[in-house]
Amino acid sequence: MQYQAPPWLPGGHAQTIWPALFARRYEGSPPQFRRERWQTPDGDFVDVEHLIDPATTPATTPTAAPSTGPAATPAERPLLVLFHGLEGSVESQYVQAFAAVAQQRGWAFAMPYFRGCSGELNLAPRAYHSGDYTEIGWMLEQLRASHRGPIIAVGISLGGNALLRWAQEAGDSAAQTVKAVCSVCSPVDLTAAGHAIGKGFNGLVYTRMFLRTMMPKAMSKLKQHPGLFDAERMRRVRNLYEFDNIFTGPVHGFRDVDDYWLRASAKPHLARIRIPALVLNARNDPFVPAHSLPEQSHVGAHVTLWQPREGGHVGFPSGRPPGHVRTMPQRVTDWLATRL
């Protein structure tokens, strides 16, 4: 991916924060969604946001791409599935930008929420994590069962690492479900990224932002399931390493945070992927150190690496102030469209 940040927005932090808060996400009217609830095999639930049918929501700009053909019904169009990042939602800038691009292309779009992220606490004694490939696989199976057209999937940050882990574990069988996958700004080396986000400016800004929602949800989970973890230790948490060591790792079957970060990382298994996979990381991403990114020797023939020098963490702003965040979703969907 050839990308150059606008001169007025230099540096990885600016290219991360400004796009999330101020940049334009779509042209014309915002994407509209309908929510569906799925019951999970373990007696819990997940919610899914579906883009309202593009066939009944006309594109509002002359740049809209034509649909896949006049004979295609909504269930036969390509379906773009997006897995959000840590504490993400349908309000996240990248969700709205990808949904808008999908609508312009005449594609269907769905965003499953990870457990506890849809605004309602989930029921089971668990939440979600970076290596949750079993959950990713189950979600894709539900969508495959209800959609006749081709499916492609994008994962953002945490969601991208989990999506790659699913593709790795699924091997050749992944092609029965999806045509291609893409991870965007994913911490494929969770140990490197986990330590980086706790240092300096990262710890002061991003870590505090994530813990502001994660810790109350964990304490609510403890009320649901007394004894799930030590409440006093949780109250002393100051970074994601400590949070994952007390909650995310042990609650999801890992020995501790180090075991979790090691076993959940996608980087060591990239050569196992057997479907087209795009791994996109900006080299100035504050969350994901450039030295931790995969090299060509780490991947197999099915994996394409895009590592532009700039972009920040899921930022990739373009244009004049206030800028927009459509460039990256457009480039990613261009790549995915050639794999349909």
Query: Which residues are known catalytic residues?
Result: 157, 285, 313
- Give the residue carrying structure tokens 């002393």: 236
Give me the amino acid identity at 247. F
Residue 162: which of 198, 106, 112 has the closest Cα? 112
- Find out whether 74 and 55 touch, Cβ atoms under 8 Å: yes
Query: Which H or E element spans position 81?
Result: strand 79-83
Which SS3 state, helix, strand or coil, does residue 195 take? helix
Helix ranges, the chain (H): 12-21, 93-105, 133-146, 158-170, 190-196, 200-202, 208-224, 231-235, 240-243, 249-251, 257-264, 327-337
Alpha carbons 181 and 287: distance in angstroms, whole number: 21
Helix axes 257-264, 158-170, angle to 10 degrees: 60
- Find out whether 191 and 261 touch, Cβ atoms under 8 Å: yes
307 alpha carbon, distance to own chain's centre: 17
What DSSP letter does each residue of 292-308 carry, written as one string?
A: GS--GGGS-TTEEEE--
Both structure tokens of 219? 């304490």
Alpha carbons 86 and 156: distance in angstroms, whole number: 9
Give me the amino acid identity at 229. F
Query: Which H or E element spans position 45?
Result: strand 45-51
- Give the residue carrying structure tokens 């991003």: 206
Count Cβ atoms within 10 A of the Cβ of residue 68 and give its class: 0-12 exposed, 13-18 middle, 19 or more buried.
middle
What DSSP letter does each residue of 98-121 carry, written as one string?
A: HHHHHHHHT-EEEEEPPTT-SSS-
Which SS3 state, helix, strand or coil, does residue 124 take? coil
